[in-house]
A and B are shown apart, each in its own frame.
Chain A
Amino acid sequence: GNSVTQMEGPVTLSEEAFLTINCTYTATGYPSLFWYVQYPGEGLQLLLKATKADDKGSNKGFEATYRKETTSFHLEKGSVQVSDSAVYFCALSSWGAQKLVFGQGTRLTINP
């Protein structure tokens, strides 16, 4: 079945550091890939997505590239801010599967 494996957290960085959160997946066919962000006490918000191989999703300085050859969708940001502190979830969906499959989430804390 479909599954998503995320880099285990928590991750703590200093402001302006470079961020990578790893995400790999197992899926049949050609899934769409997503990164969601959850700020404290809130629901999830879509951060970025990619629907086919080699696509790059980007938003708010975050980027992730859909790598079919390595089945990965790693999240990156060149210079993090304190306001980026949140939990990040990688997810995938396959046509006909009728539901998203989420990774376990990675808690990110940015210190000033």
Chain B
Amino acid sequence: DGGITQSPKYLFRKEGQNVTLSCEQNLNHDAMYWYRQDPGQGLRLIYYSQIVNDFQKGDIAEGYSVSREKKESFPLTVTSAQKNPTAFYLCASSPTSGGAGELFFGEGSRLTVL
């Protein structure tokens, strides 16, 4: 079945360590997104990519990095510079690159910093 796969579902990290969250889609979508969700808050956009080898910062990009070397993959690295990385991270894709249409979401990755 087509969809978005995020891994790992749960991840624990010690302070000072970088961690990479995987996001893979087989929907042939051009656009991919990373959102952060904190308890009781909405979704905040971290990074997005409209096309391979190109990406833009979202509203809270500090302390994060991404790459888009393949159309189907958009990994997110949470670096040690991110002050409060414990959160639920959601990856999404969209078939529309000229403007955001419907988003398709993965099931999320929950990161906990120990």
| Residue with the greatest number of chain B CB neighbours at <10 A, chosen from A42, A46, A102 | A102
Give Cα A97 to B98, complex, Å: 8
As a 0/1 sequence over residues 76 to 112 of chain A, the CB contacts with chain B under 8 angstroms (1 = contact) are 0000000000000100011111111011110000000
Query: How many residues of chain B get a CB closer than 8 Å to chain A's CBs?
Result: 26
Give Cα A99 to B32, complex, Å: 10
- When the two chains form their complex, are residues A100 and B107 in contact, meaning their CB atoms are under 8 A apart? no
| B109 and chain A: residue at smallest CB distance | A43
Given the known A-B contacts A42-B107, A43-B107, A43-B108, are A102 and B43 also in contact in the complex, defined by CB atoms under 8 Å?
A: yes
- When the two chains form their complex, are residues B42 and A103 in contact, meaning their CB atoms are under 8 A apart? yes
Other than the known A99-B33, A105-B41, what 8 A-B pairs have Cβ atoms closer than 8 Å? A43-B90, A46-B103, A49-B102, A89-B43, A96-B98, A99-B48, A103-B42, A105-B42
- When the two chains form their complex, are residues A44 and B105 in contact, meaning their CB atoms are under 8 A apart? yes
- When the two chains form their complex, are residues B90 and A44 in contact, meaning their CB atoms are under 8 A apart? yes
- A–B Cβ pairs within 8 angstroms, 7 of them: A36-B105, A42-B107, A93-B99, A95-B98, A96-B98, A98-B97, A102-B42
- When the two chains form their complex, are residues A93 and B100 in contact, meaning their CB atoms are under 8 A apart? yes
List of A residues within 8 angstroms of B8 by Cβ: none
Q: For the complex, is A73 an interface residue (Cβ under 8 Å from B)?
A: no
- When the two chains form their complex, are residues B107 and A98 in contact, meaning their CB atoms are under 8 A apart? no
Q: For the complex, is B16 an interface residue (Cβ under 8 Å from A)?
A: no
As a 0/1 sequence over residues 44 to 60 of chain B, the CB contacts with chain A under 8 angstroms (1 = contact) are 01001010000010100
- Shortest 7 CB-CB contacts between residues of A and residues of B: A43-B105, A95-B99, A104-B42, A93-B100, A44-B105, A102-B43, A43-B107
